[in-house]
């Protein structure tokens, strides 16, 4: 039986995968831009 067929191993791999995507997006867009900015409907 392969290790990849175990649900725990699949959970760990998926968690690392999505965490890497999240960290990559934060790295691309910067960690300093957590403010929401201007609300889009304030000028209407």
pLDDT, tens only, 13-33: 999 999 999 999 888 877 665
Q: CA 43, CA 24: separation in Å to the nearest integer?
A: 33
Q: Are 3 and 9 in contact (CB under 8 A)?
A: yes
Q: What pLDDT score does 4 carry? A: 74
Q: CA 12, CA 19: separation in Å to the nearest integer?
A: 10
**pLDDT(35) > 60:** no
- The CB-based long-range contact list for 39-44 (8 Å cut-off, 24+ gap) reads none
Q: What pLDDT score does 37 carry? A: 58
Residues 6+ apart with CB under 8 A from 3: 9
Q: What pLDDT score does 13 carry? A: 94
Q: What pLDDT score does 20 carry? A: 97
């Amino acid at each position: 039986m392969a290790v990849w067929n175990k649900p725990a191993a699949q959970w760990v791999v998926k968690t690392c995968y999505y965490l890497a995507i999240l960290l990559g997006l934060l790295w691309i867009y910067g960690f300093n831009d957590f403010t929401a900015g201007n609300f889009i409907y304030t000028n209407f």
